[in-house]
Structure 1
Amino acid sequence: MTGTDGGQVGEASGSAWSPLRRRVFRDLWLAQFTSNVGSWMQTVGAQWLLVGHGAAQVSLVQLAASLPMLFLALPAGVLADLVDRRRLLLVMQAAMALVATALTVLAFTGRLGSWTLLALTFLLGCGNALNGPAWQAVQPSLVPRAELRQAAALGAVNMNLARAVGPALGGVLVATLGVGWTFAVNAASFLAILAVLATWRPGAEAGAPRPGQEREHLLAALRAGGRYVRSAPRIRRILLRSALFVPGACALWALLPISAQQSLGLGAAGYGLLLGAVGLGAVAGAAALPALSRQVGGDGALALAGTVFAGALVALAVGPSVPVALLALVAAGAAWITALSTLNAALQVALPAWVRARGSAFYLLVFQGGNALGSLVWGQVAQHAGVSVAMALAAAVLLGGVLSLRRLPLLGGRADPTLSEAWPEPRLAVEPAPQDGPVLVTVTYLVREGKAPAFVTAMRKVEASRRRTGAVAWGLYRDTARPERYVETFTVTSWSEHCAQHHGRYTGADHAFETDARTLLTRDPSVTHAMTVRH
């Protein structure tokens, strides 16, 4: 939706829970919840196992789980756009189940040292990194566009409810049966999501090759994803807002186990109670999110979330009592889900299908990278200056991000990622082979008198469109003999890549930008295609 600040993040429609009425979304949501509960139970067991080793090593659990995203997110995004996403998800979930089983066996046999635990946590993080972009990319296909915001909010509710239930159950298991049982339950939890994925039959995915077009190769697809993000101001701004929120907010997740033990004097069950308060806040935040977003828009929601989360961190830093901590964590849960849902919905509304997983990979790279590096930094600060100081500094970072919203808001304007077939087919005497190229496309325009400045301005958006969809070079030239005559040139690496511009990448927004420029012409432009001459 477009709020009062112009931040367009998808029109909220219906209730906060409306996506759960759709069977496939509901089944996958419940299966993911089961798996997330198991993951959080394991996290509690792992962190509690390392509490005696100090704050720095406890924070390494978050680092080990998040660091793989820095190296694998982009390749995973390419894979998810090129291969069957359902099969990729099945393989990754099965691999993570095997790693979790190995962790369980080592724990029960008494062979699980701290560094082995961190290494296996890192492997699970690798599975999550390879799984993440594909999972993000399938979500918009499960609900109508009008429900994307609620679907994004329910995804965050899923994680935060699991963050509440999982640690609570994990604390009980640690206190009664031992750490090993948290790992065992996590290994078993993968069976739920594997069962749903095995029976799910998605429809045909966007991006299948068309006539004259080959399926992208890995390196070419990676470069295409990078070009798209570089030429998409809306996506870049979403990534920036994530980078300004996550590193400060992650201090809560990295340091809460230490705060629970040292400042509040709680055991494993008490730590689970604290995370239960986060889950309660998440549910409340999700229920209020549609109405909130209609009232204040995307930027208002981000500003409110950052301010409330910073206040919760300050409360934990200066008021170490259980009642204060519980209230602060309820507020933090609501703020966390508001920020993540706003950013995620804005991303999914803006990304076209052909690059959805790669765009999501960049988002996950920023999110998990900020989480990993932030956890490391706050762990070190807490080790040397104390948990309270670390949380206070993290609050200051969050407030700095809130203040930056005035100059760096989410971008409004057009966001129509649906495919368009409005680009006319090229007229050719000879059909090139898919691998032939590079291709030089030349478009000649005759601009109406007095409209040259407006035409040049409109063509800036056309340039971004060409680059997003595959152009590696672009130029706009004015004829010195006929000032009304402009020539646009752009180069694409192959004929297959140019066919992809026509069929699989040209969206409604791209067509709107081109239409704006063409309204300033005296007649339709002429187009030529030239191929590199091979000697």
Structure 2
Amino acid sequence: MAETRAEAPPRSAVLAPLRHPVFRALWLASLASNFGGLIQSVGASWLMTSIAPQASMVALVQASATLPIMLLSLFSGAVADNFDRRRVMLTAQAFMLVVSALLTIVAWIGFMTPWLLLLFTFLIGCGTALNNPAWQASVGDMVPRGDLPAAVGLNSMGFNIARSVGPALGGAIVALAGAAAAFAINAVSYVGLIAVLTRWRPEPTVATLPPEPLGAAMLAGPRYVALSPAVRVVLLRAFVFGMGASAVNALMPLIARELVGGGPLTYGLLLGAFGVGAVAGALVSTRLRARLSTEKLVRVSSLGFAAGAATAGLSGFLPLTLGALLLTGAGWVLALSSFNVTVQMSTPRWVVARALSLYQMAAFGGLAGGSWLWGTVAEGQGLRVALLSAGAVLVGCTLIGFVRPLADAEGRDLGPLRSWAAPETAVPVDGRTGPVVVAVEWHVAEADLPEFLGVMAERRRIRRRDGAHNWMLLRDLADPSLWVERYHAPTWHDYQRLNTRLTRDDAEVFETLRRLHRGAWPPQVRRMIEREARPWTRDPGRVARELATPLADPSRNA
């Protein structure tokens, strides 16, 4: 299912990404799968009320579905960045299909137990956790960069369309045909996605290096985020926003029962209003992004959500509460999709899935912690106090933006800086040889030192971000104009990786350093292998053979 990308349509066209056949097919299949997942969730919760009606067991159904996202996100991001994302998604979808089919059979024959139901729900959550980073990172492979914000908004809209209708549809199915029928529908919903993914043939990427070991890849994600100010700010804002925004969803049953004085039907109407607001927010998101910066859009969304939460807390009039929840739904989608887009457009392709997984962990961490916090506040201080306090947190999220604003990353070019090839070496090396020590010699005039040191601080961040260890800057005591930049890489492959990770957005730093260099020749680069001193021996031939043999276990010298 090859795709030839058309010219990017105007950014104001919210449905523009659907012009790309692969994205359109996957979006429709994902929409069907979202319906199936929500129907399955209703069936599992209702079945648990029949076989173990204790409130704690019913609550564990939702917990068992979301816990894998917290536990496995970083691992899943590393897998998505190091292996073919289409295959990762196919594996996840096939796994969830098998688990859902087994769940259907066990429920149909009447052998279900509470803990077995939680196990099946947990396993489906594991499949979702494996699938999500690969799916989100693949959006950038399906549409041009200019359509990426609209594509992220459409994904949010699709999920919220399903969330608006799916629970009610699931309840009707369970009432008419039982929980096993809901599980069967969920199993069938994976078939469409598997079919589309099987037909999709993305442009192959030529890998010049083997994949990173998963342990190293999982560490590389947090390191990159920690040394990327734009992404770090997103995680902070997403956590705070999630903590404040969690109050409305967590307390919505109580809003329906205690503030509006309704029952299950009223609760359904409130859920529907939130979902409709979310869909409306997704529909206007691209137009708003064309007029507002990312930071201003998040501020508007946060303040809108805060106003909606406060209104819901103070209102006892159903139409007014429905209007407030429309506002919160729109703010929810606009803020979260803005965070998602900023992460994707601030991160190069080699690490984008890991950055997205860390963003998900921050947002879900805020949602989980906020749900517990506002439940505790509502129990001790009252529902209105909890909702007003949550609104205050969202106002705080807006105020943080004046100190730590979100970056507008759409103008950044995160493609590879250059086609880098490993240099020839006189000493034989292989991929595991190491540690590699690199020293770069710069000659700098005294008058240029303030600028040189400032640019070197940015170069240090870039090098460490991409995988360099023990970076340091040294000044020669005999020649004051000579400065030596020195850093380590654990292995020769790691040294190659950190050089291929430089982006065109980093070019200004390297051009400035070349301009400041005053040597008679270009900066001298010395690449060395760290070796242990060996006991003295009278057999120089054995020493020569050992020195010519790459280290088999570089980690002992790292």
Structure 1 residues 269-316: Cα deviation after superposition (integer angstroms, max 9, x where no partner)? 554443332232223212322332233311111111111112222222
Structure 2 counterparts to residues 61-140 of structure 1, below 5 A: 61-108=61-108, 116-140=116-140
Whether 1:166 aligns to 2:162 is: no
The residue number in structure 2 matching 1:4 is: none
Partners of 2:290 and 2:213 in 1: CA distance: 42
The residue number in structure 1 matching 2:40 is: 42
Q: CA, structure 1 residues 334+145, in 2 after alignment: closer, same or farther (shift >3 Å)?
A: same
Tell me which amino acid in the other structure corresponds to 2:130. L
Partners of 1:533 and 1:158 in 2: CA distance: 57
Deviation at 1:532, TM superposition (A): 1.2
Equivalent residues of 2:347, 2:355 under 8 A apart: yes
Match of 1:391 among 362, 387, 400: 387
Which segment drifts farther, 261-270 or 122-131? 261-270
In structure 2, the residue corresponding to 1:130 is in which secondary structure? helix
The residue number in structure 2 matching 1:29 is: 27
Structure 1 residues 420-472: Cα deviation after superposition (integer angstroms, max 9, x where no partner)? 21657535333521110111111111224511101111111111111121101
The residue number in structure 1 matching 2:469 is: 472
Tell me which amino acid in the other structure corresponds to 1:496. H
The residue number in structure 1 matching 2:430 is: 433
In structure 1, the residue corresponding to 2:447 is in which secondary structure? coil
The one of the two structures with greater contact order (alpha-carbon pairs below 8 A, sep at least 6) is 1
The residue number in structure 2 matching 1:6 is: none
Equivalent residues of 1:309, 1:331 under 8 A apart: yes
Tell me which amino acid in the other structure corresponds to 2:506. D
Deviation at 1:139, TM superposition (A): 1.1
Partners of 2:451 and 2:435 in 1: CA distance: 31
Equivalent residues of 1:73, 1:365 under 8 A apart: yes
In structure 2, the residue corresponding to 1:353 is in which secondary structure? coil
Q: CA, structure 1 residues 297+166, in 2 after alignment: closer, same or farther (shift >3 Å)?
A: same
The residue number in structure 2 matching 1:184 is: 184
The residue number in structure 2 matching 1:313 is: 309
Equivalent residues of 2:242, 2:366 under 8 A apart: yes
Equivalent residues of 2:259, 2:313 under 8 A apart: no
The residue number in structure 2 matching 1:237 is: 233
Partners of 1:394 and 1:13 in 2: CA distance: 34
Q: Compute the TM-score of the two structures, normalised by the length of structure 1.
A: 0.89
Tell me which amino acid in the other structure corresponds to 2:503. T
Structure 2 counterparts to residues 56-455 of structure 1, below 5 A: 60-108=60-108, 116-205=116-205, 208=207, 210=208, 213-261=209-257, 263-264=259-260, 270-382=266-378, 387-411=383-407, 415-421=412-418, 426=423, 428-455=425-452
Partners of 2:374 and 2:49 in 1: CA distance: 16
The residue number in structure 1 matching 2:498 is: 501
Q: CA, structure 1 residues 48+516, in 2 after alignment: closer, same or farther (shift >3 Å)?
A: farther
Tell me which amino acid in the other structure corresponds to 1:451. D
Partners of 2:380 and 2:481 in 1: CA distance: 68
Partners of 2:434 and 2:528 in 1: CA distance: 9
Partners of 1:204 and 1:515 in 2: CA distance: 32
Deviation at 1:54, TM superposition (A): 8.3
Tell me which amino acid in the other structure corresponds to 2:24. R
Q: CA, structure 1 residues 203+242, in 2 after alignment: closer, same or farther (shift >3 Å)?
A: same
Partners of 2:268 and 2:485 in 1: CA distance: 61
In structure 2, the residue corresponding to 1:528 is in which secondary structure? strand
Partners of 2:114 and 2:376 in 1: CA distance: 18
Q: CA, structure 1 residues 326+100, in 2 after alignment: closer, same or farther (shift >3 Å)?
A: farther
Q: CA, structure 1 residues 119+325, in 2 after alignment: closer, same or farther (shift >3 Å)?
A: farther
In structure 2, the residue corresponding to 1:450 is in which secondary structure? helix
Q: CA, structure 1 residues 204+411, in 2 after alignment: closer, same or farther (shift >3 Å)?
A: same
Partners of 1:113 and 1:264 in 2: CA distance: 37
Which segment drifts farther, 308-317 or 407-416? 407-416
Equivalent residues of 1:175, 1:268 under 8 A apart: no
The residue number in structure 1 matching 2:554 is: none
Partners of 1:114 and 1:398 in 2: CA distance: 38
Which segment drifts farther, 368-377 or 129-138? 368-377
Equivalent residues of 2:310, 2:388 under 8 A apart: yes
In structure 2, the residue corresponding to 1:352 is in which secondary structure? coil
Equivalent residues of 1:31, 1:196 under 8 A apart: yes
Deviation at 1:415, TM superposition (A): 3.4
In structure 1, the residue corresponding to 2:393 is in which secondary structure? helix
Tell me which amino acid in the other structure corresponds to 1:85. R
Partners of 2:193 and 2:133 in 1: CA distance: 16
Deviation at 1:389, TM superposition (A): 4.1
Tell me which amino acid in the other structure corresponds to 2:527. H
In structure 2, the residue corresponding to 1:519 is in which secondary structure? helix
Structure with max Cα Rg: 2
Equivalent residues of 1:51, 1:258 under 8 A apart: no
Partners of 2:386 and 2:64 in 1: CA distance: 20
Which segment drifts farther, 370-379 or 292-301? 370-379
Partners of 1:205 and 1:368 in 2: CA distance: 32
Partners of 1:313 and 1:60 in 2: CA distance: 26
In structure 1, the residue corresponding to 2:120 is in which secondary structure? helix
Q: CA, structure 1 residues 191+202, in 2 after alignment: closer, same or farther (shift >3 Å)?
A: same
Tell me which amino acid in the other structure corresponds to 1:479. D
Structure 1 stretches lacking a partner, 5+ long: 1-10
Q: CA, structure 1 residues 266+44, in 2 after alignment: closer, same or farther (shift >3 Å)?
A: farther
Equivalent residues of 1:63, 1:376 under 8 A apart: no
Whether 1:529 aligns to 2:524 is: no
Partners of 1:12 and 1:359 in 2: CA distance: 28
In structure 2, the residue corresponding to 1:500 is in which secondary structure? helix
Partners of 2:122 and 2:258 in 1: CA distance: 27
Tell me which amino acid in the other structure corresponds to 2:16. S
In structure 1, the residue corresponding to 2:484 is in which secondary structure? strand
Structure 1 residues 168-213: Cα deviation after superposition (integer angstroms, max 9, x where no partner)? 322433454445543332222122212211221222147x2x2xx4
Q: CA, structure 1 residues 106+321, in 2 after alignment: closer, same or farther (shift >3 Å)?
A: farther
Structure 2 stretches lacking a partner, 5+ long: 1-8, 535-558
Q: Compute the TM-score of the two structures, normalised by the length of structure 2.
A: 0.85
Q: CA, structure 1 residues 490+497, in 2 after alignment: closer, same or farther (shift >3 Å)?
A: same
Q: CA, structure 1 residues 350+231, in 2 after alignment: closer, same or farther (shift >3 Å)?
A: same
